[in-house]
């Protein structure tokens, strides 16, 4: 595996979006935004718990789950990974504190 796995997985999920909901969990999630949002919350919470417990294996598994669900959101919203990379790239020369201040966040 390498850094291109995100792009590869995104393309697979994009294809699965239009398959039968009974056969594809991805398709089911894309057609149920409330469920997808709930899954993001669940996976985030599980990741946080494993991080606090210093459970490295749990952090790895929950991170993978969270990334999968995040990619499903991107597919559902019509967002390409390169749009995210461009946003991240635009922030690399700005401190996190400065970036949050510019967005009006504390």
Domain segments of the chain as ranges: 5-92
Helix axes 5-16, 81-91, angle to 10 degrees: 140
Q: Say which residues have a Cβ less than 8 Å from residue 84's Cβ, sequence separation at least 6.
A: 74
Question: What integer pLDDT is reported at residue 90 of this predicted model?
Answer: 86
| Residue 73, token pair as written in the block | 């959101």
Question: What integer pLDDT is reported at residue 92 of this predicted model?
Answer: 80
Question: What integer pLDDT is reported at residue 99 of this predicted model?
Answer: 66
Question: What integer pLDDT is reported at residue 101 of this predicted model?
Answer: 73
Question: What integer pLDDT is reported at residue 106 of this predicted model?
Answer: 60
How far is Cα 101 from Cα 97, in angstroms, rounded to an integer? 6
| Residue 33, token pair as written in the block | 């935004």
Residue ranges of the chain with per-residue pLDDT less than 70 = 1, 3, 96, 99-100, 103-106
DSSP 82: H
Q: Does domain 5-92 have CATH number 1.10.3720.10?
A: no
- The owner of tokens 């559902």 is 76
């Amino acid at each position: 595996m390498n850094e291109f796995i995100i792009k590869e997985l995104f393309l697979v999920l994009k294809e699965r979006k239009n398959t039968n909901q009974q056969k594809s969990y991805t398709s089911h999630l894309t057609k149920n935004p409330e469920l997808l949002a709930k899954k993001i919350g669940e996976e985030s919470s599980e990741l946080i718990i494993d991080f606090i417990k210093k459970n490295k294996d749990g952090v790895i598994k929950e991170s993978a789950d969270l990334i999968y669900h995040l990619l499903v959101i991107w597919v559902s919203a019509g967002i390409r990974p390169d749009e995210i990379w461009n946003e991240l790239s635009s922030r690399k020369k700005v401190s996190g504190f400065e970036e949050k201040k510019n967005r009006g966040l504390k």
